[in-house]
Amino acid sequence: MKTFAISALTVLGMTLASVGTSSAGDAEAGKATFNKCMACHAVGEGAKNKAGPELNGLDGRKAGTLEGYAYSDAMKASGITWNQAEFEEYIKNPKAKVPGVKMVFAGITKQSELDNLWAYVSQFDKDGKVKAK
């Protein structure tokens, strides 16, 4: 009986740990997905603002705060702090997540692409260098 209880708790714990979390993406595959973003965004060493802000140091950054980029009032007031969940929800449908945002993008809805894109973008620190693992 004791073994059954431990096994049941182990399975329950593993199930709860996986609920609501996205899987780790593949940064190299995310680089290919980022091609959809490159017309408006840059990331990596030497990245500059384009039609959209450069995305270095995105993980943990408050939305609408990158110095030198003219964000919409909607983005500045969004209250978002970028992390994987916020990013993925936003990229699925930017105008639904933040009504009034300037970003014109149809969205990415395939979960593997979202995971890979986040893995790629989030690997860069604020200076555009790949973070140590």
Along the chain (133 residues), what's the average pLDDT of each consecutive run of 10 residues?
Answer: 44 38 82 97 98 98 97 98 98 97 95 98 98 87
Compute the distance between CA of residue 85 and CA of residue 79 in angstroms, rounded to an integer.
14
- For the record, the structure tokens of 91 come out as 């990229």
Tokens of 66: 């990158």
Residue 132 token pair? 């140590």
Contacts of residue 110, defined as CB under 8 A and 6 or more positions apart, other chains included, come to none
Angle between helices 84-92 and 111-121 (to 10 degrees): 130
Is the Cβ–Cβ distance between 35 and 99 less than 8 Å? Answer: no
Q: What is the pLDDT of residue 2?
A: 53
- Res 24: pLDDT: 85
pLDDT at position 50: 97
Q: Is residue 80 within 8 Å of residue 90, measured between CB atoms?
A: yes
> Which residue do the tokens 């014109």 mark?
104
Q: Write down the pLDDT at residue 121.
A: 98
* Full set of structural domains in the chain with CATH: 24-121 (1.10.760.10)
Q: How long is the chain?
A: 133
Which pLDDT score, from 0 to 100, does residue 72 have? 97
* Tokens describing residue 70: 């003219």
- What Rg value do the Cα atoms of the chain yield, rounded? 18
